[in-house]
Amino acid sequence: MSMSPLLPPYMVAIGSILAIVVAKQSMGGLGFNIFNPAHIGRAALMVSWPVAMTTWTKMQDMSAGAVDAMTGATPLNILKLQGYDALVATFGGQGEMYKSLLLGTRNGSLGETSTILLLLGGLYLIYKGYINWVVPLGMIATVGVLTWLFGPGGFGTGDPLFHVMAGGLMLGAFFMATDMVTIPMTITGQMIFAVGAGALTVLIRLAGGYPEGVCYSLLLMNAVTPLIDRYVKPRIFGAPKGGAN
């Protein structure tokens, strides 16, 4: 779901093998992997086949049930290469841009285009108790605040709504960053993880050479999760006082 719909099946198979065999089974299997397996597979494919991984489809005509697909850039690519004004012009206005990001009528990976569907899915997981709200809210809020402060146009004039809905932030925040195996154990640690992942995402998007940073930000924070767990520990109740046994 984090790959282009045009990616050849054999590349998807290679990414799946790397995710399952290398990132998970080689580290001891379920519950022992340090890094998010899906993002390890995606990162490996991005390094190996960057052109194929960044070739997208764009829906041109859906009248009478017909779909005419052509390749095109993602919104984050347009922002990175042409600037914010060109991005808005591509969609025919800011309102149309937000509508496209919300409904999913824009380029992107299979599972990242429709913000409203990703949000509903994430809220359902929270409602059922499968994930908590700390990590997704912390990561999304961090991206929103930092892109407002440092986004196109200068201090406090960025477009946080665009950055929250664009790219793989919603997919990563709700469905990747909440992986209980690869995030800190404590709520405080998870807050640190979420803020760090959001900050790294913004850093890569705004200052890096790659237009999207969700995948790499989560992998980097996965790497420091053991360090966070080491220094952020829950208070132990019922410990013996003094020399009591």
Q: In this predicted model, what pLDDT tens digit does every residue of 152-162 receive, in sequence order? A: 666 666 899 99
Distance CA 212, CA 97 (A): 18
Tell me, yes or no, whether 219 lies in a domain: yes
Model pLDDT, residue 162 = 94
Other C-beta atoms closer than 10 Å to the C-beta of 56 total 20
Q: Rg of the chain over CA atoms, in angstroms?
A: 20
DSSP 69: E
245 falls within a domain = no
Q: Which amino acid is at 11?
A: M
**pLDDT score recorded for residue 245:** 54
List pLDDT tens digits, range 18-69: 999 999 998 888 888 899 999 999 999 999 998 888 877 665 544 444 444 4
Domain membership flag for residue 2 = no
* Cα 70–Cα 76–Cα 81 angle in degrees, nearest 5: 90
Is 174 part of a structural domain of the chain? yes
Q: Does residue 42 lie in a domain region?
A: yes
CB 213 within 8 A of CB 205: yes
* Confidence at residue 69, expressed as pLDDT on a 0 to 100 scale: 46
Domain that holds residue 75: 9-231
For residue 112, the Cα-to-chain-centroid distance in whole angstroms is 9
pLDDT computed for residue 154 by the predictor: 60
At residue 178, the pLDDT reads 93
pLDDT of amino acid 65: 47
Domain assignment present for 4: no
In a domain, 244, yes or no: no
Q: What is the pLDDT of residue 58?
A: 61
pLDDT at 242: 61
What torsion, rounded to 10 degrees, do the Cα atoms 233, 189, 191, 18 define? -160
HSE, side-chain direction, 13 A CA sphere, residue 36: 26
Q: For the chain, which residues score pLDDT lower than 50?
A: 61-70
- pTM of model > 0.75: yes
Number of domains the chain contains: 1
What is the C-alpha separation between 228 and 212, in angstroms, rounded? 25
Torsion of Cα atoms, 114 then 198 then 23 then 224, to 10°: -170
Give domain status of residue 155, yes or no. Answer: yes
* Bridging pattern class, strands 56-59 and 69-72: antiparallel
How far apart CA 74 and CA 94 sit, in angstroms, is 16
The half-sphere exposure of 157 on its side-chain side, counting CA atoms within 13 A, is: 5
Contact 207, 163 (CB under 8 A): no
